[in-house]
Chain A
């Protein structure tokens, strides 16, 4: 029995899946956080993303998780949430 498939206990007035935030119309005035999760070569990927974003006039801030094996610490998440309007997370090796 999978516990990941359950019956909705609510009145089903809200969508069962959460919708994504709307895509920003432009990068003007956005501060974009780039989060390196500390996987090898994630920085290479993010360096290139940063170069392209800056080229298009965006403001970029860089962040790094202490380790990829654990969720980002609360302080780091708070820092990103208060300093940025958008965030890109580098997942790959």
Chain B
């Protein structure tokens, strides 16, 4: 007879007290009473709750509890109490964590201590206790020691566990973890070139664009104030990626990161696409992922820039405005070297929808409308020293964007005849190419 909480119950029999709840934890007791038949080595059978017939059958005592009600469902075991389970898991599960423990002095405020150690982005972080990290790891089926990527700039092997530690600090919930891991996979490679992104003096960071039904399941925002404050999933997933690079990779401002201005987007820039209201295919589908599959596209981008047009009523008029704004990306006379994400709002996308334009039509029109004669873009023209080299002056039509250099997405609140553009860093071999990956549990 083993008793969990009341040392004196039941009074009539010899009993042991499960002080640390070790017995209950190791025997998966979810309900009290539970009757188990077997030896210390093996369990033959068990019954959960009080069933007079079952207890009599298993014990072989025909008169057992004859005066009690025939059946009672029992109560929840203390070993599955939501307030205790994380502590018990940390104590008993043989948690398989490898990170070393850091103990702050008794008089230290852990929040201040984490600032002092350089573990934060300038905002407070949640203390990554063993319990919280274990809880975070419940969000993925991957083993804590699985190496997900090699993190720049220090080229450190990045385990699921270290990502989970930083996800806790960023304020993520466990169900966000697969998205953080996917984003890390997407940025830590030669194609995306997170190292270069970190080291460049340009004001760019990884912009995470999320697609698929999972975005709704974890409560991401694709609507009102989509790039702004107020949504935990959007903000903490983006922040977790940055904390991983900072803390594990060693990429800190003033060290490898020597950006001239930086950008608020380097704290966190993550959003979901509004797929339901979009005339376009989801960005992930445009980039080769199956419809309905959770995916993240990472883009080396700066902050969003608003494009206003409240008078356009035809797709041609709207394309003209969007193209004009896109020409201004970084410098009107610099072409092909930078990609862009164009985020069309619902009010603007309605114009395309009514004209039955989807992403291929919109993109084709944008590429055409952003090409200019080389003579307009050559260095020195218009009194502007910057521009393309002399030799390009003879080319009749120079595209502003390389093929696939415009990424088309749909997001934002239902009111506002504005769209938004997110300018990219140097593209291709010299810089970064966008990467799209599936989000796996």
Interface residues of A (CB under 8 A from B): 1-13, 16
For the complex of A and B, the 9 pairs showing the least CB-CB separation, nearest first, are A3-B127, A7-B99, A11-B156, A9-B247, A3-B110, A4-B104, A9-B165, A6-B128, A10-B247
The residue that B101 contacts in the complex, of A3, A7, A11, A13, with Cβ under 8 A, is A7
B331 interface contact, C-beta 8 A: no
Q: A1-B87, A6-B128, A7-B133 are in contact. List 12 more A-B contacts (CB 8 A).
A: A3-B110, A4-B105, A4-B110, A6-B127, A7-B99, A7-B100, A8-B102, A8-B165, A9-B99, A10-B247, A11-B154, A13-B250
Question: Contacts A8-B101, A9-B247, A16-B100 given: A1-B129 contact, CB under 8 Å?
Answer: yes
Question: Contacts A3-B110, A4-B103, A16-B100 given: A9-B162 contact, CB under 8 Å?
Answer: yes
Task: Return chain A residues, CB-CB under 8 Å to B50.
Answer: none
B352 interface contact, C-beta 8 A: no
B188 interface contact, C-beta 8 A: no
Asked if B250 and A9 sit within 8 Å, CB to CB, the answer is no
B106 interface contact, C-beta 8 A: yes
B130 interface contact, C-beta 8 A: yes
Number of interface residues of B (CB under 8 A): 34
The A/B interface has a contact count, at CB < 8 Å, of 73
Expressed in whole angstroms, the Cα–Cα distance for A11 and B169 within the complex equals: 15
Asked if A7 and B119 sit within 8 Å, CB to CB, the answer is no
Task: Return chain B residues, CB-CB under 8 Å to A9.
Answer: 99, 119, 128, 162, 165-166, 169, 243, 247-248
Asked if A12 and B154 sit within 8 Å, CB to CB, the answer is no
Task: Return chain B residues, CB-CB under 8 Å to A12.
Answer: 99-100
- Could you list 10 examples of A-B contacts with CB < 8 Å? A1-B132, A3-B110, A4-B103, A5-B102, A6-B110, A8-B99, A8-B165, A11-B154, A11-B250, A16-B100
Task: Return chain B residues, CB-CB under 8 Å to A2.
Answer: 129
Question: Contacts A4-B103, A6-B101, A16-B102 given: A11-B128 contact, CB under 8 Å?
Answer: no
Expressed in whole angstroms, the Cα–Cα distance for A8 and B129 within the complex equals: 9
Asked if B131 and A1 sit within 8 Å, CB to CB, the answer is yes
Task: Return chain A residues, CB-CB under 8 Å to B99.
Answer: 7-9, 12
Question: Contacts A4-B104, A8-B165 given: A13-B154 contact, CB under 8 Å?
Answer: yes
Expressed in whole angstroms, the Cα–Cα distance for A12 and B247 within the complex equals: 9
B13, chain A: closest CB distance, angstroms: 35
Expressed in whole angstroms, the Cα–Cα distance for A60 and B129 within the complex equals: 45
Task: Return chain B residues, CB-CB under 8 Å to A6.
Answer: 101-102, 104, 110, 114, 127-129
Task: Return chain A residues, CB-CB under 8 Å to B151.
Answer: 11
Task: Return chain A residues, CB-CB under 8 Å to B104.
Answer: 4-6
Expressed in whole angstroms, the Cα–Cα distance for A40 and B103 within the complex equals: 33
B410, chain A: closest CB distance, angstroms: 35
Expressed in whole angstroms, the Cα–Cα distance for A18 and B270 within the complex equals: 36
Contact with A along B129-152 (1 / 0, CB 8 A): 111110000000000000000010
B381 interface contact, C-beta 8 A: no
Contact with A along B148-188 (1 / 0, CB 8 A): 00010010100000100110010000000000000000000
B119, chain A: closest CB distance, angstroms: 6
Asked if A3 and B129 sit within 8 Å, CB to CB, the answer is yes
A4, chain B: closest CB distance, angstroms: 4
Asked if A7 and B86 sit within 8 Å, CB to CB, the answer is no
Residue of A nearest to B166 (CB): A9
A79, chain B: closest CB distance, angstroms: 22
B64 interface contact, C-beta 8 A: no
Residue of A nearest to B167 (CB): A9
Task: Return chain A residues, CB-CB under 8 Å to B119.
Answer: 9-10
Task: Return chain A residues, CB-CB under 8 Å to B129.
Answer: 1-3, 5-7
Expressed in whole angstroms, the Cα–Cα distance for A11 and B86 within the complex equals: 25
B97 interface contact, C-beta 8 A: yes
B108 interface contact, C-beta 8 A: yes
Give chain B interface residues in 373-426, CB to chain A under 8 Å: none
Contact with A along B233-272 (1 / 0, CB 8 A): 0000000000100011110000000000000000000000
Expressed in whole angstroms, the Cα–Cα distance for A3 and B112 within the complex equals: 12
